[in-house]
Amino acid sequence: MRVLGIEGTAWCASAAVFDDAEDAVFIESDAYEPDSGGIHPREAAEHMGEAIPAVVGTALSRAREEHGADPIDAVAFSRGPGLGPCLRIVGTAARALARTLEVPLVGVNHMVAHLEVGRHRSGFDSPVCLNASGANAHLLGYHDGRYRVLGETMDTGVGNALDKFTRHVGWSHPGGPKIEARAAGGEYVDLPYVVKGMDFSFSGIMSAAKDAYDDGVPVEDVCNSLQEHTFAMLTEVAERALSLTGTDELVLGGGVGQNDRLRGMLAAMCEARGADFFAPEPRFLRDNAGMIAVLGAKMAAAGDTVSVAESAIDPNFRPDEVPVTWRGDDESVSRVPDPNGAASGGADDVALRGAEATVEMSGDAVTKRRLPKGYRHPDLDATLRRERTVSEARLLAEARKQGVPTPLVRDVDVAEATIRMQRVGERDLAAALSEEAVGTVGEHLARLHAADVVHGDPTTRNVRVDGERVFLLDFGLGFGSGHVEDHAMDLHVFEQSLVGTADESASLVAAFEEGYASVSEEAVLERLRGIEGRGRYQ
């Protein structure tokens, strides 16, 4: 099958032809480059209107030269997410071309295409994918017929965040390559670092970076530290996603993935935990029609085509809205084994490795050591390990005061980032999911929030169960807050872990919220609905 793909979600007008028999992709692109500032939607649309016919003509001519008069079996196009005016031009061109060639039309989600081209070229079975692009930043994994969002930005995409700083400095779009070039000669300075479970935020670090520049900190130092902080955040949440799902494959997608420092961090993290990492060549990382054509071929082969009437563009087309027709149910990213083996748990010695620490269980004792992370700058790494160790010990004790079962802390060594505590539970909640257990988690979180305590990372891996008892663990990302938004984010993180890994998660989510509501007021659940509706991962 040969598919002509057309991409034009924002700044890059691109057409490509993918031949699945030869696994060959020809790409022709014409990128919009604003004279100043960021992308201007009207100017981007004007560029798209001029460039799309040219790049499509070049790709089609190339296909005819190589394969004769009728070289195309389907036309695929990016339906979204993206800028509406640009998407409409691409959609119109794709419909007209499909009618002219008398071939099927395929509507492709741009973000899923970033994932699928990496999966295709890596040969991985079911990887977690980190999408790091201009308007997006999230982690996706295939589970239960959809690509599930395992983690996401809470405000803006990583590329747009970096561009905000470069516009402040006065540099032209795109800003990422300019930051990378200047960072090479810079020194490390402290900036905010915000990770909540597998979610993350860039607004605070961008404001601090602008302030540092305005206060006279050399721009090279600010650029260096922007990379060290933002990319370490992405790498940390990627490792958390690997730990949550149990998979050992990671694929990188998106234009920011061209950055050498980001790729180096991800590769180092995967090597340290024995996982496989793949980053496609740069032409498949930046916006391109090759990925649209590759996914379009998979969808067309599965019969997943659209009529003209069904082909409307969607500027807010979320990746988890896409029915994944081209993959089997046995390819779930979630493997979630029971790390303790037998249900009894008993007093057997067990050694576990999570995303952030090793946990050694012996008898009724547990020793948790936060590991140095070689991908992080040493100063940042030391700060995070120290602060999280202190926070965990303090909040474990505070939770117990509120009647929430947690391990009893026996000793804390801040210098070694080590906590020795009581062994609790027979197994992780991930291996023993039930409506009763998740409902109890909801009750526990409500009690914490009533005391202005935020867990920070309540996933199914950070809960232990023992018969009817449910224990909360790992408060390293926790903090004190009475703000309803912070409480709702706790619920959001836990529900993401359910939806991303559990079978028939809807009933579990409902039980969790019912448990929370039985103890707490409705305001937090109302705010949770708002968080879900923001579509941060569009």
Largest distance between two CA atoms of the chain: 76
Classify residue 401: in a domain, yes or no: yes
Angstrom distance (rounded) from CA 507 to CA 231: 36
Classify residue 345: in a domain, yes or no: no
Residue with tokens 């309803």: 484
Looking at residue 381, which CATH number applies to its domain? 3.30.200.20
Q: Indicate whether 501 and 457 sit together in one domain.
A: yes
Residue 200 forms beta bridges with which residues?
153, 195
Residue type, 480: G
pLDDT at position 339? 46
Around Cβ 298, how many Cβ atoms within 10 Å?
Answer: 24
Q: Is the pLDDT of residue 345 over 60?
A: no
Q: Indicate whether 305 and 236 sit together in one domain.
A: no
pLDDT at position 383? 97
- To the nearest 10°, report the CA torsion of 405, 406, 408, 412: -160
DSSP secondary structure string, 458-522? --GGGEEEETTEEEE---TT-EE---HHHHHHHHHHHHHHHHHH-TTHHHHHHHHHHHHHTTS-T
Q: Indicate whether 110 and 254 sit together in one domain.
A: no
Exposure letters 412-423 (e unless 16+ CB within 10 A, then b)? beeeebbbbbeb
pLDDT at position 38? 65
Q: Are 317 and 81 in contact (CB under 8 A)?
A: yes
* Local structure of residue 135 (DSSP, 8 states): S
pLDDT band at 37 (very low <50, low <70, confident <90, very high): low
Looking at residue 483, which CATH number applies to its domain? 1.10.510.10
Instruction: Look up the pTM and report it.
Output: 0.92
Q: What is the span of the domain harbouring residue 36?
A: 2-117+285-326
How many domains are contained in the chain? 4
- Mean per-residue pLDDT, 198-227: 96
Q: Indicate whether 131 and 234 sit together in one domain.
A: yes
> Which pLDDT tens digit goes with each residue over 485-497?
999 999 999 999 9
Q: Which residues contact 23 (CB under 8 A, 6 or more apart)?
A: none
DSSP secondary structure string, 220-288? HHHHHHHHHHHHHHHHHHHHHHHHHH---EEEEESGGGG-HHHHHHHHHHHHHHT-EEE---HHHHSS-
Domain-ending residue, one of 422, 444, 466: 422
Angstrom distance (rounded) from CA 390 to CA 412: 8
Q: Is the pLDDT of residue 84 over 60?
A: yes
Domain-ending residue, one of 422, 451, 468: 422
Q: Indicate whether 83 and 204 sit together in one domain.
A: no
Q: Indicate whether 442 and 495 sit together in one domain.
A: yes
Classify residue 447: in a domain, yes or no: yes
Classify residue 483: in a domain, yes or no: yes
Around Cβ 343, how many Cβ atoms within 10 Å?
Answer: 11
Classify residue 262: in a domain, yes or no: yes
> Which pLDDT tens digit goes with each residue over 71-82?
999 999 999 999
> Which pLDDT tens digit goes with each residue over 441-451?
999 999 999 99
User: Token pair for residue 283?
Assistant: 């032409």
Q: Indicate whether 268 and 123 sit together in one domain.
A: yes
pLDDT at position 134? 85
Q: Is the dihedral of CA 305, 311, 317, 321 positive or negative?
A: negative
User: Token pair for residue 444?
Assistant: 């526990």
Classify residue 333: in a domain, yes or no: no
Q: Is the pLDDT of residue 67 over 80?
A: yes
Report the percent of the chain where pLDDT is more than 90.
Answer: 81
Q: Indicate whether 26 and 63 sit together in one domain.
A: yes
Classify residue 332: in a domain, yes or no: no
Q: Indicate whether 356 and 320 sit together in one domain.
A: no
Looking at residue 87, which CATH number applies to its domain? 3.30.420.40
Domain-ending residue, one of 392, 422, 452: 422
Classify residue 39: in a domain, yes or no: yes
pLDDT at position 35? 65
Q: Indicate whether 166 and 250 sit together in one domain.
A: yes
> Which pLDDT tens digit goes with each residue over 366-406?
999 999 999 999 999 999 999 999 999 999 999 999 999 99
Name the active-site residue from 287, 457, 474, 486: 457
> Which pLDDT tens digit goes with each residue over 42-65?
888 999 999 999 999 999 999 999
Sheet bearing 24-31, strands edge to edge = 24-31, 12-19, 2-7, 74-80, 105-109
Angstrom distance (rounded) from CA 12 to CA 288: 7
Sheet bearing 418-422, strands edge to edge = 350-353, 357-362, 365-370, 418-422, 409-413
* Local structure of residue 310 (DSSP, 8 states): G
Average pLDDT, the chain: 92
pLDDT band at 504 (very low <50, low <70, confident <90, very high): confident
pLDDT at position 69? 83
> Which pLDDT tens digit goes with each residue over 255-312?
999 999 999 999 999 999 999 999 999 999 999 999 999 999 999 999 999 999 999 9
- Mean per-residue pLDDT, 325-345: 64
Annotated active-site residue 155? The verdict is no
Q: Indicate whether 254 and 135 sit together in one domain.
A: yes
Around Cβ 92, how many Cβ atoms within 10 Å?
Answer: 15
Q: Indicate whether 108 and 126 sit together in one domain.
A: no
> Which pLDDT tens digit goes with each residue over 129-179?
999 988 889 999 999 899 999 999 988 889 999 999 999 999 988 899 999
